[in-house]
Amino acid sequence: MKNLSRRLAFWLLLPLSAVQGLWVRRTALRLPEASGARTGAVGLGEELHLLALGDSIIAGVGTGIVDRSMPVQCAQALASTRKCSVQWRVIGANGADISDLRDSIRQIDDQQQVDVILISIGVNDVTGLSSTRQWRTQVNQLVVELSEKWPQARVIFVGLPPMGKFPLPPQPLRFTLGQRAATLDSIAADIISRQELMLHVPTEINPGEQEFCEDGFHPSAESCAYWASELAQRF
């Protein structure tokens, strides 16, 4: 009954939320992607090859430099906990949705060595009003493509963040984004749970004070460090 009430509220609030969404797109602060090389290495010892794919979280929007982005901080945490050399590569873009992610995967050389894959995707599918049917189909196709291209790689999917806690969107837009993100994340988690070498890791907001960048939408470098530490323990 509770879920039904939430779904009903989502659809009733959607027209107003759509108007607010257009206003937010026009007025929101635009932060750049992280500056710096998109490949690198950290640590000493046996090599572990990390490939990070996805959206603005992977691209490090709002973190300033790539070393403070979530995937590179994850590489640093992995190198520290595993006592190894992590060779990392970042392929992410601000605004990327799951279709863009699948396109980028097709363009990567099949011969590139990949041991672990970190994926962040879905926020732009939420804001782009992707249907649950479209999302389910895309996620199913994504896991097939990943398994065929890198059958031995360990894949970590970063769960969609709780968008209902983002400071930027006004209400009721914040509520509708939060509800939609939770719905798409649940679908992705269900699909990924049936894959042998893949894991969905729910995303939590950093309990510290510096949770978001100044745009009120992207995680701060401090939040990225918190996420990276949590994710590194799952590989």
Average pLDDT, stretch 164-187? 93
Taking all residues of the chain, what is their mean pLDDT, rounded to a whole number? 91
Q: Is the pTM of this model over 0.85?
A: yes
Domains detected in the chain: 2-29+39-232 (3.40.50.1110)
Q: Is the pLDDT of residue 2 over 50?
A: no
Q: How far apart are CA 205 and CA 10, in angstroms?
A: 22
Average pLDDT, stretch 151-156? 96
Q: What is the 3-state secondary structure (H, E, C) of 17-77?
A: HHHHHHHHHHHCCCCCCCECCCEEEECCCCEEEEEEEECHHHHCCCCCEHHHCHHHHHHHH
